[in-house]
A and B are shown apart, each in its own frame.
Chain A
């Protein structure tokens, strides 16, 4: 944003405003007559007719408090003019009347304010225009009477009277309305809107107090601006009360404006701020509790306030001149021009110069827009920071995600390593449980000097080792991709063939094993148990048939191996029968499966091995 351009725009606007009003005034001057010679007389509040005596000549515009400093009440003003023709109606313009008035032309009333006694109507805010035609308008001498109700404390009096053609005077009236009334109405409206807008912003972002102070200052400013627009003292019952309240609004608006500037410059002056808060409270307290002193003596408040306002702005301008921040400098510029013009208004207020056109109202929208820009700039800068922060945050999140990913990958790799180690340990344990024991047994048997083993026995032991290794290999290879039915298939196939060769008819019944996984250790234990049982059948039973049944019912796995061979007497050592070591091994495996081996054996009636294994809930 090029703020010097903004400054030029402001300047151009002001120049244009002044030029237009001057041009309009000049263009109509030729057809409009300004009447500045009049007579005035004091009267009481209830005066209904102009007094016959006591008239004094005066010059308009007139503030009667300079002549009658303590006169609160009515002053009658009388103006004469000579009318050459009544062919066309004439326009009559009362530039300024303070406060309430009634207007008579040639003895007839043409206008009357609603409130001619307290609370007085506030007609001072706007010029008054009347169209006068015959028969009211006479050829020759005509008399204008203006009955003004006013209070000495509030610049009572009558401004210039202008007559002329309807169009010319009405143009003057329009111009006056525009520059005195409309601009202030606009000023009030824009203040109210901006105040509400930034007030909302602050309500939603309490931490950003600069918006809150801006809203407060602008809203109090809007209240003060209402003074230039309202036609009545509502909601107050007297002019004093209204004026006192307006002064309190001015004080508070100035104080909150100062705090806003402090916050805007990111400063915090607690003692000054507390003092301003007290001053504001005091102003309201006086205004509400003692308006009849506060109102007339308002300058006691107004002058220090305005001085303070100037001091505040001067300080800020000094700060802005040194600041490199765009929004601070724009705010500075937006205050510089109005402050220069406000000297004019102040002079007018203090009656150092005569007139009724407070031009500050022209510039205050500019100030408001400048302030709005500065605050909005601050807001958008905060937004940009937030967005930048988002980008930065995303960047950081990305980095963190990458790091986390790396860490997880490392942990995963570590977990994989641990799993591999665990699997290797499982394999070692599997080998150790069956294979290792048998191997040691075979070595011990071969080394026994007392009883050299027969080669056939050694071969038998080695074959048992081989079968066990086969089970370990099959289980390790296929446990992951195969259910119990799949794991049993190679064992069943191999042993069917072996038993078949030995002339033993084997019958298998496998029920409900599809999809059943016992886990590697239990699967291997089960396969080993079956293999040992079948080895016993093959070697010792002399059976002609063996039935193998493995069935699952709910959470129970039942295993049964029954042969129709010789059988034996349980508990009695049988020659050649492995009632000792063989059965012990079977029992140990059953125990490891969490079950108890049930042995049903009688000589001549075969052997039945049975066990029920409880399946854990985790078994799929």
Chain B
């Protein structure tokens, strides 16, 4: 995986956050990374965010969970389908991993935790800009649990194409290994030392894991819809 190819420009950036102080904090963080001439817009609701993003919008959207007119995860899911050029990053307050996991499955490729220091958030944003994604032990553990659960069933329908499609989006050996190490508390640097890769490559793997998670959840949704007779 070449991380450079997947690099994401932080300009333009849309910050969807209804809390003024937090909005200001995020704005400063992004400006600190991109410089003052960056194209940064803010929105304080889902509706206004959707209005700001036209069909060929691209760049990064930092999206808060609790918005006045709905849940940020809905916006992430909507963007994932209707604005595929936009990279979604979820902003979580106290980072309950279920919320973050739901956002990742809806299509977010990363998350920012409000509780973290500016420097840590800045590191996370830099990682995203490089084409990577931040990850925590609790999130890694949540993903592992999720994969173990969904790895068990679904042999009944037995559609070869689907099975192939699903296996295409199964985690690779390397990705699983990285998840397990993260879950045990190893830092990216330690993991990089252990499996002799650069720490930035590790971040790339993380993002790849998130992508697969989103695709898997969509495939699962389609499969379930077919099973229920909603799609033909």
| A residues apposed to B, CB below 8 Å | 463, 466, 470, 473-474, 477-478, 485-486, 488-494, 496-498, 500-501, 506, 508, 510
Stretch at the interface among B38-46, B58-66, B151-159, B179-187: B179-187
Q: Judging by beta carbons under 8 Å apart, are B115 and A466 in contact?
A: yes
Asked if B123 and A497 make an inter-chain contact with CB atoms under 8 angstroms apart, the answer reads yes
* Given known contacts A489-B184, A508-B185, A501 and B120 CB-to-CB distance under 8 angstroms: yes
Minimum CB–CB distance for A490 against chain B, Å: 5
Beyond A473-B94, A474-B138, A493-B182, whether A501 also contacts B119 by CB under 8 A is yes
A490 touches B190 (CB 8 A): no
Q: Does B9 contact A (CB under 8 A)?
A: no
Minimal beta-carbon separation of A582 from chain B (angstroms): 20
Is B137 engaged at the interface, CB distance under 8 Å to the other chain?
Answer: yes
Number of A-B contacts (CB under 8 A): 55
Which residue of B has the minimal Cβ distance to A488?
Answer: B185
CA distance A488 to B120 in the complex (A): 19
Chain A residue with Cβ nearest B119: A501
Instruction: Give the interface size class of chain B.
Output: 10 to 19
B120–A498 CB distance below 8 A: yes
Whether the pair B120, A497 counts as a contact (CB closer than 8 A) is yes
Q: A282 CB to closest chain B CB, in angstroms?
A: 93
Residue numbers in A under 8 Å from B141 (CB-CB):
486, 489
Is there an interface contact between A470 and B115, defined as CB atoms closer than 8 Å? yes
Question: Most B CB atoms within 10 A — which of A463, A488, A493, A496?
Answer: A493
Q: Is B190 touching A496 in the complex (CB atoms < 8 A)?
A: yes
Which of A477, A490, A500, A501 is the one whose CB lies under 8 Å from B185?
A490
Task: Flag whether B136 is at the interface (Cβ < 8 A).
Answer: yes
Known: A490-B138, A496-B190, A500-B189. A485 touches B119 (CB 8 A): no
Return chain B residues, CB-CB under 8 Å to A497.
120, 123, 187
Q: A251 to nearest B CB, angstroms?
A: 89
Contact among B94, B96, B183, B189 with A489 in the assembled complex (CB-CB below 8 Å):
B183
B117 interface contact, C-beta 8 A: yes
A535 CA to B225 CA in the complex, in Å? Answer: 51
Contact call A493/B115, Cβ cutoff below 8 A: no
Complex-state Cα separation, A497 to B94, whole angstroms? 18
Contact partner of A463 (CB less than 8 A), chosen from B96, B117, B137, B189, is B117
Chain B residues whose CB sits within 8 angstroms of the CB of A488 once the complex forms: 185
Docked pose: A510 CA to B137 CA in angstroms: 15
Contact with A along B115-130 (1 / 0, CB 8 A): 1010110010000000
* Chain B nearest Cβ from A467, distance in angstroms: 9
For residue A538, give the distance in angstroms from its CB to the closest CB of chain B. Answer: 11
Residues of B within 8 A of A501 (CB): 119-120, 123
* 24 A-B residue pairings within 8 Å (CB atoms): A470-B94, A470-B115, A473-B94, A474-B138, A477-B96, A485-B184, A485-B185, A486-B137, A490-B136, A490-B137, A490-B138, A490-B185, A492-B137, A493-B136, A493-B182, A493-B186, A496-B186, A496-B187, A497-B187, A500-B187, A501-B123, A506-B187, A508-B185, A508-B190
Chain A residues near B187 (CB-CB < 8 A) = 492-493, 496-497, 500, 506
When chains A and B are docked, how far (Å) is the Cα of A490 from the Cα of B116? Answer: 13
Find chain B residues with CB under 8 A from A510 CB: 185
Whose C-beta in chain A lies nearest to the C-beta of B94? Answer: A473
Q: Which of B67-97 contact A (CB under 8 A)?
A: 94, 96
CA A506 to CA B190, docked complex, whole Å: 10
Report the 5 A-B pairs with minimum CB-CB distance, sorted nearest first.
A489-B185, A496-B187, A492-B185, A489-B137, A490-B137
Write the chain A residue with the least CB distance to B114. Answer: A466
Distance in angstroms from A78 CB to nearest chain B CB is: 114
Q: How far, in Å, is B42 (CB) from chain A's closest CB?
A: 24
A463 partner residues in chain B, CB cutoff 8 A = 117
15 more A-B contacts (CB under 8 A) besides A470-B94, A493-B137, A498-B117? A474-B138, A485-B185, A486-B183, A489-B137, A489-B138, A489-B183, A492-B137, A493-B185, A497-B120, A497-B123, A501-B119, A506-B187, A508-B185, A508-B190, A510-B185
